Structure 1
């Protein structure tokens, strides 16, 4: 391997490490903050159309009420954020948090199909509304969870 190739390899490893760390702690911070907001009345109002139109969550709204369900979601998001961020001390636990968050983001992505108004159909072919655009970012967060899960599993393997 030439000296230039070795330098590029080293730089690539550093950038990869920085990227994974940024994804991990950005994801954890997002989940912690979004989870915290679930205890605010305005956030209960914000998620109402999403959870009431979702078959997996609508029955929980009926059973728990909107405020309790929002609190339960907030606790789950805070717990997942903490688990994902725990990789340096508990990589297996962190991987579990990332994989659980994959399920959560897959659920929120399903809101694209269940939430009235997620698509604007008055402009020719369907286009995402503001709600749809808000939901679509969860595809990136789901991908981040897959990367952080793989990274944590590799770290657990090395222990």
Structure 2
């Protein structure tokens, strides 16, 4: 994929995800997430949940607008980058709050509501690639885009080996036409172990492929990682309560749609790594 196609694809993924998230927050989806986030800044005592949702949604919709304007070179990219930074950093800082961690299950690296928050690590590297491609080396861009992919696959994938997470994904797996067969071969925990093992294995292999500049390994592991993030998008259609008639996306829908950012991260890695000469042994 050349740079033009990569830029177009990533811009589309960002615009689609943030417009859906923005509209759903503005319409009042997932108030518990808003309270958990803004209580960290003590804003929940100043503004009501509807106002917080409207502010969050408006910020995301504005991010879509300035991203598209910058993409078509109608404005400088600075405003898009700064707004993306704000939209990402505000939730990410709340990982410092105790309510994001499940201390009764060992604390780090077990996370609770932080599962959806860590996904915001994927956003800023995409904006750096889109608008500041020549300010950094290809190696730096690849590293910055690999880190969030590795983080979410290793962290959330590793959680699949715990009983609480194995039970939590039953509703997703058993309703999926692509994954429900796992329960006919494995127990609930066994199926979760297979899913987690897949995530962890191919995250590590992708890292190895990047380190060794091995195109075949990057392609195989990259496609495997891509399948994880594309599979989660099918949950929007197969799992109950992903959409809401009143807020467009429900809590599950908001959680799942963020995986489009990781598709973008993988596009950056493929674009920059597969255009390089392969390392010969």
TM over 0.5: yes
Superimposed CA distance per residue, residues 53-96 of structure 1 (whole angstroms, 9 cap, x where no aligned partner)? 10111121232122111000111000111012111224321332
CA contact (8 A) 2:229 2:260 kept: yes
Q: SS of the counterpart of 1:155?
A: coil
Partner of 2:183: 61
Q: In the alignment, does 2:231 pair up with 1:132? A: no
Q: In the alignment, does 2:243 pair up with 1:108? A: no
Q: Which runs of 5+ in 1 are unaligned?
A: 1-9
| CA–CA separation in structure 2 for the residues paired with 1:70 and 1:77 | 11
CA contact (8 A) 2:202 2:225 kept: yes
The aligned length equals 147
Q: In the alignment, does 2:230 pair up with 1:89? A: no
Q: 1:83 to 1:155 in 2, by over 3 A?
A: farther
**Moved segments of 4+, more than 6 Å:** none
Q: 1:146 to 1:63 in 2, by over 3 A?
A: same
Q: Which runs of 5+ in 2 are unaligned?
A: 1-131
Partner of 1:49: 171
Instruction: Please report the RMSD computed on the Cα atoms of aligned residues, expressed in angstroms.
Output: 2.2
Superimposed CA distance per residue, residues 127-159 of structure 1 (whole angstroms, 9 cap, x where no aligned partner)? 111111111011111221222223332235465
Give 1:13 deviation, angstroms: 4.5
TM-score (norm 2): 0.48
| CA–CA separation in structure 2 for the residues paired with 1:99 and 1:43 | 25
